[in-house]
């Protein structure tokens, strides 16, 4: 059993894996503010097996970021099992998570990610092979959507197959692949999946405030909550959610100064001390820290003209 699901443990808060955003510096920030369980950005199993450094780079788990899982994706049972074995040996994660939810065409065109929801037997075979390869030492979990489209919702079948395969917990994003990120997450479907299984279900989709977290938890019966987009630029959300779940007063939101100086520290951590390096490629990650601030549009415009850390430091000292 994953120890954070032991009876009597507080409801775990997961940071959702988000490719291009949940790098190790951001995961560290979320951990510092109360995220309980972290997951890396996903890595393609073929890339890991072939030894591509770019695939391995996103999987680093510093010691202060545990418990943390590594997420892998692929469509071939052999490659997935081999990649999981390599990850287990090289990274020693607290769990390995199988991605059966990614809607991106680059992934579904390989019949990986959410595409596998249309091929439940193959999806199950992947899970079985990974569990056979590493399950005796490293727990295997999975992340799914509720189905490929409205006409083919099959979360309960997929959950049953994953449970039979020996998967130890399943995160369900309450949208179909066809929805992408639009519309609302269907927590009714998540609740039906919870009722159909004995393994822990982690509920995911549109949790952006303490009230929503409490309500979704109560109405669905999930054993954990996973938070994605609302945490981007706002790792403090985890402190608020943790306080709400523990029945403590919600801490006040961070001041503008704290948000911007955290953004600066984050950028510095991403550049690992290379103070003259360009920050252009970091802008989407940094822009997220300005959401909701007074004059955020002006701030974002000024941010987009920053070239390096010195420019960013000047902006933060005089916003």
Ligand X SMILES: Cc1cc2nc3c(=O)[nH]c(=O)nc-3n(C[C@H](O)[C@H](O)[C@H](O)COP(=O)(O)O)c2cc1C
Sign of the CA dihedral running 177, 180, 186, 191? positive
Q: Which is nearer to ligand X, 21 or 238 (CB)?
A: 21
Q: Does 173 bind ligand X (CB under 6 A)?
A: yes
CB of 181 closer than 8 Å to CB of 175: yes
Q: Which stretch binds ligand X (CB under 6 A): 4-12, 30-38, 227-235, 273-281?
A: 227-235
Which of 37, 112, 165, 227 touches ligand X (CB under 6 A)?
Answer: 227
Q: Does 204 bind ligand X (CB under 6 A)?
A: yes
Q: Which of 102, 105, 306, 318 is catalytic?
A: 102
Report the DSSP pairing between strands 170-176 and 140-147.
parallel
CA-closest candidate to residue 77, choices 43, 113, 127, 119:
127
Q: Is 102 marked active-site?
A: yes
Strand partners, 226: 14, 204
Q: Which is nearer to ligand X, 70 or 309 (CB)?
A: 70
Say how many Å lie between the first and final Cα of the chain, rounded. 48
DSSP codes, 44-89: EHHHHHTT-HHHHHTT---GGG-SEEEEEE-S-HHHHHHHHHHHHH
Compose the 22-51 pattern: x for residues touching ligand X by CB under 6 A, - for all others.
-------------------xx---------
Q: What is the CA radius of gyration of the chain?
A: 20
Which of 60, 192, 229, 313 touches ligand X (CB under 6 A)?
Answer: 229
Residues in contact with ligand X, total (CB under 6 A)?
A: 22
Count of residues for the chain?
A: 319
CB of 22 closer than 8 Å to CB of 40: yes
CB of 311 to ligand X, least distance (A): 25
Which of 31, 129, 143, 285 touches ligand X (CB under 6 A)?
Answer: 143
Q: Does 16 bind ligand X (CB under 6 A)?
A: yes
Which of 205, 239, 270, 288 touches ligand X (CB under 6 A)?
Answer: 205
CB of 275 to ligand X, least distance (A): 27
Active site residues: 102
Interface ranges with ligand X (CB under 6 A): 16-21, 41-42, 71, 99, 101-102, 143, 173, 204-207, 227-230
């Amino acid at each position: 059993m994953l120890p954070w699901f032991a009876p009597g443990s507080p409801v775990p808060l997961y940071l959702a894996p988000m490719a291009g955003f949940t790098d190790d510096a951001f995961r560290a920030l979320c951990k510092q503010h109360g995220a309980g369980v972290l997951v890396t950005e996903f890595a393609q199993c073929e890339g890991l097996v072939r030894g591509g450094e770019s695939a391995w780079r996103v999987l680093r788990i510093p010691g202060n970021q545990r418990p943390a899982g590594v997420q892998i994706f692929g469509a071939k049972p052999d490659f997935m099992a081999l990649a999981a074995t390599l990850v287990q040996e090289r990274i020693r994660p607290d769990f390995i998570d199988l991605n059966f939810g990614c809607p991106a065409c680059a992934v579904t065109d390989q019949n990986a990610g959410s595409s596998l929801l249309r091929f439940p037997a193959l999806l199950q075979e992947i899970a079985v092979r990974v569990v056979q390869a590493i399950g005796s030492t490293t727990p295997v979990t999975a992340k799914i959507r509720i189905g490929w489209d409205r006409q083919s919702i099959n979360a309960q079948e997929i959950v049953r197959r994953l449970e039979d395969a020996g998967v130890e917990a399943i995160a369900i994003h309450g949208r179909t692949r066809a929805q992408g990120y639009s519309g609302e997450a269907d927590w009714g479907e998540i609740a039906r999946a919870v009722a159909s299984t004995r393994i822990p279900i982690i509920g995911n989709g549109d949790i952006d405030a303490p009230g929503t977290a409490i309500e979704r938890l109560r109405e669905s019966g999930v054993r954990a909550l996973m938070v994605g987009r609302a945490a981007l630029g706002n790792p403090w959300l985890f402190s608020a959610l943790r306080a709400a779940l523990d029945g403590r007063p919600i801490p006040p939101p961070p001041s503008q100064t704290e948000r911007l100086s955290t953004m600066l520290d984050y950028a510095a951590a991403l550049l690992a001390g290379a103070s003259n390096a360009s920050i252009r490629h970091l802008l989407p990650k940094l822009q997220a820290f300005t959401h909701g601030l007074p004059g955020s549009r002006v701030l974002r415009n000024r941010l987009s003209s920053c070239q390096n850390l010195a420019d960013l430091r000047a902006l933060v000292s005089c916003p």
